[in-house]
Structure 1
Amino acid sequence: MKLENYISELLYRYECVTIPGFGAFLTSTKGAQVHTSTNAFYPPTKMISFNKQVINNDGLLANYIASVKKLSYDIALIKIETSVFEWQQTLNSNAILTLKNLGEFWLNNEGSLQFNPSQHVNYLTSSFGLSTFVSPEITREQLHKEVETIEKKTPITLTPEARKTAPSYLKYAAVFVLGLSVAGSIGYNYLNTQTENAIVAEQDAQEKVTQEIQNATFFDELPLELAPVQLTVTKKVTPLKYHIVAGAFRDENNAHTRVAELKEQGYEHATILGQNKFGLWQVSLQGFEENREAERFLFKNRKAITGIWLFVSE
């Protein structure tokens, strides 16, 4: 049985897939990148890492194999153990263990397990169909302004004309027009004065009316006091998506016992998440809204409590 095929299928949907007795594959999202020197564009990806300390069975892989292969849960566990035994034999013979679409494993000189993830598969479903591509560099044309030469215009010379003497009857006409202008100016000033006086009188009357309105009393009694209104604001609690799971049990009593043990150790937020789709009662150390906070908590407490893993609720 190619166990790596089932692991690969689960990594598309989960951020942690544990192989009992061997370790756990973890994923983390990496944003899109641009390589400035090669002009290569890389889509968002889901990077794979491996944690050899997470070896406890969470039931995810075994239940998935059992449902796909139409096997019982116990038979699926036996098949997983058989595959893990074969992997360990390959590693103990100083050979490289290659798991398709996952990566390569080997033992260094000190006997420590090493892992090199595969770069051929992107497990981020939102990036489906996106591939790496290289775009040629864009060159922008620079526009240069051309300076136009302005020709000097020839200066215009003004030639004075000879003055002509106006006839005498034009002089009398000018005097008559001047008289009409003076009379019109006097009449216009008189009309303006009368208009301004009327406007001032109207403004005074308006101010008196406004003052009387302001001094008037509209209430014979004090206004009624309204009773205070109390509003109850209910804060909407968003369910936490990321949980650090410390075990999964078929018996609910065992799950309650595990929660009590964790609280005695100082983990006050320990609780039972409920049953998963495989019928196991999952015990959570603590829940988080952000993935980074959950990973930070996992890294900090993985030595104190072995076998914990990150669970993402759907």
Structure 2
Amino acid sequence: MVEKHIKNLLFNHDCVIIPEFGGLITRYVPASINPVKHMLVPPSKKIAFNEKLVLNDGLLISTIAYANNISKEEAKQMVVAFVHSARTRLNGENRFELADIGVFRYNAERRLEFEYKESENLLESSFGLPEIVARPIRAEEPAVLRTLLKERKAEPAPVKQPLRSRLRRAYNVAAGLALTGLVGAGLYMLSLQTDYTISSLSPTSLFGAERQAAEENASASVTTQMPADQFASAEESLEMEDNAVSLAEGSGLTETSIEATQYAADESVIAKADEQGAAVEVEQPSTTISGKDGRFYIITGGYARMHNAEFSRQEIAEKGHEAKVLEPGRGNRLFKVAVADFATAEEAQAAMDTYRQSFGETIWVYNN
């Protein structure tokens, strides 16, 4: 009778104390897989025993009294009789079995030992879940697959390519590398020329080329506005120089003699220009900046030739701005036209919005 009530209490409680005997404690065990037996075990409760839990908490006695409709004193006497019977069996047979729960024994030190008997799953949430056997599936090879595997094993090893094919491949690779090197060297030599830069090869540089052509046409038109007598004198001087060179070449003179003849022709041209007082003097711009000065300039454009940069500076000066031309420094080939200069970069950046209204969004700040 008492054993039945103990088992029912273990379904709903984690600890059931048997007065003057000990306490049965349950613990949760999660689901597990047995790799040897190939079994899936559901979650369950395991039971342990502690003989020091002998203090009566009233759970077992109250349950027996309520289930049998008797008083607690009568239920207590039933528990005492159960404990006396258990100890008598242990002293006589050294074994007492609690039905569907476990077996009690004395060890060499006369202490109670409990062996849990896994007969029924005491976890209510796993009620009705059996242990599932899941054996591995062994796939059998069909006859077609076995035939394909045999044919694949029978295939001969790949034949090594002949020496001629390998040499042809190496030649193609070497030719490609050589061609790439030649193209790179050509581009580098082209970039060293005075009138070309690497940036001029891009499609966007076409706009800069059109502007440069327009500036050259404008400078040519300025030249054609020279007085007629000065232009005639210049042509006459050039004809004298050409005649002197041709006479020297016809008479079989050496290169040194030709240079002397050209020098004499140049001297005659200068003398004649001084006599007529109509020699064309090229005015050197006084607003040219050469060398580093540490100031910050607002640049409107860069040009490969000085006269193009000067023409742009004159156009800006006609609009009322004091423009300057910055000569190229080391590693640079462009003449830059500046519309303003400042002592610090902050001042130059602050003035950018004002100058963008007149010169567009392509201007930038340059530290000279």
Q: TM-score range by the shorter chain?
A: 0.3 to 0.5
TM-score by length of 1: 0.45
The structure showing larger relative contact order (alpha-carbon pairs under 8 Å, at least 6 residues apart) is: 1
TM-score by length of 2: 0.39
**More helix per residue: 1 or 2?**
2
